Amino acid sequence: MAITRTPENGLILLDGATTDAPRLAYQHDDAPELERLFAGTRHQEAITVSPCLVKPSPGSALLATPETWRDHGILLESPADPAVVADHLRSLISVRLPSGQGAYCRFYSPGQLVPLLCMLDYEERRAFSGPITAWHLPGTDITIRAPSQGQARGPRDEGWFQLSEAHMTHLRAQACWLFRVAVARASGLAGQPGGQHRCARLIERAQRYRFHDEPEIARFVALVAAHEARLEEKDCLAVLLDVGQPSGKRIRTLERLVLGGAR
């Protein structure tokens, strides 16, 4: 479905860590205005993975075919000049943790934006958004609006946004939920009655077997979802219970036993 918002008001924010953002922009637009957000900042050395703010040209295919970038980007609305928006976003590249330390803020990641904005109250969202009036996730019906325009900041202000302990608790809970949703989808449980609940129980089971890395937990859940009876057999249980062995070695052994047909 094409995006009907005009290029004069619509800006695309692309995650340079998950795609070659400039290449993607120029593949679908002959003359976009593009700003690498890390340019001219202390993050210049990471310019090759910099998020990019793109103002599509009139009639741009970027707005007509959002499916080409929706996994890597966000649509913004702002009446401000793109340079003002870019500088405000540069001020958010890192935020302040409750401890006072700085941390990268991946507001340009579609998967991380929604939990971030949803945890903010109206005034916090207004301040965080600055000159941005709305954030859209193409391909979904998710639109998060700022109550009104806030102050536009610049690169020298980076780190101004302070996260509280309540924010961190919310983010951790959201991260767990998003992980469970992703694992349920990857394992095929998402489409089953009670699949999300079963996925949550299998994640807990994986942790009891001392699988703690997310990729290992996801692999364990996928195995159980498809081969639960096989994993209850003596040889597989012996591997699961041998918690003195590295978890990576145990999951590889289980996959070999279950998927390789070894007995």
Phi first, then psi: what are they for 114, rounded to 5°? -60, -50
| Residue 92 placed within a domain | yes
* Model pLDDT, residue 261: 53
Q: Provide the sign of the torsion angle of the four alpha carbons 161, 164, 166, 172, taken in this order.
A: positive
The predicted structure's pLDDT at residue 117: 92
CA dist 198 and 49 (Å) reads 37
Residue 232, domain member (yes or no): yes
Looking at the structure, do residues 199 and 155 belong to the same domain, yes or no? no
- Whether 132 and 19 share a structural domain: yes
Domain of 227 in residue numbering reads as 167-259
List the chain residues with pLDDT less than 50: 1-7, 262-263
> Residue 97: its pLDDT value, please?
96
Of the candidates 20, 18, 17, the residue with the CA atom closest to the CA atom of residue 34: 20
Cα-based angle 111, 181, 190 (whole degrees, multiple of 5): 135
Domain identity same for 173 and 254: yes
pLDDT given at position 64:
85
Same domain, 144 and 53: yes
User: Which of 163, 182, 208 represents a domain boundary (last residue)?
Assistant: 163
Domain assignment present for residue 5? The answer is no
Give how far the C-alpha of residue 243 lies from the chain's centroid of Cα atoms, to the nearest Å.
Answer: 32
Residues 131 and 56 in one domain: yes
Q: Is residue 195 part of a domain?
A: yes
Closest among 11, 93, 120, 19 to 55, alpha carbons compared: 11
Q: Do residues 57 and 118 both lie within one domain?
A: yes
Give the C-alpha distances (Å, rounded to integers) separating 218 from 27, 72, 109: 34, 22, 21
In a domain, 2, yes or no: no
- Per the structure, the count of domains in the chain is 2
Indicate whether 128 and 176 sit together in one domain.
no
Do residues 108 and 217 share a domain?
A: no
> Do residue 77 and residue 132 come from a single domain?
yes
Structure tokens given for 2: 């094409």
If you compute the radius of gyration of the chain from its CA atoms, what whole number of angstroms results?
Answer: 22
Domain boundary residue, one of 148, 163, 178: 163
- Looking at the structure, do residues 159 and 172 belong to the same domain, yes or no? no
Together in a domain, 158 and 101: yes
1 within some domain? no
Residues 124 and 21 in one domain: yes
The residue out of 163, 185, 211 marking a domain boundary is 163
Q: What is the pLDDT of residue 175?
A: 83
Instruction: Tell me whether strands 143-145 and 134-136 are parallel, antiparallel or unpaired.
Output: antiparallel
* C-beta contacts of 230-236 below 8 A and 24+ residues apart: 230/257, 230/258, 231/258, 235/263
The answer to whether position 55 is within a domain reads: yes
Contacts with 162 (C-beta within 8 Å, 6 or more apart), sequence order: 95, 96
Does 212 reside within a domain? Answer: yes
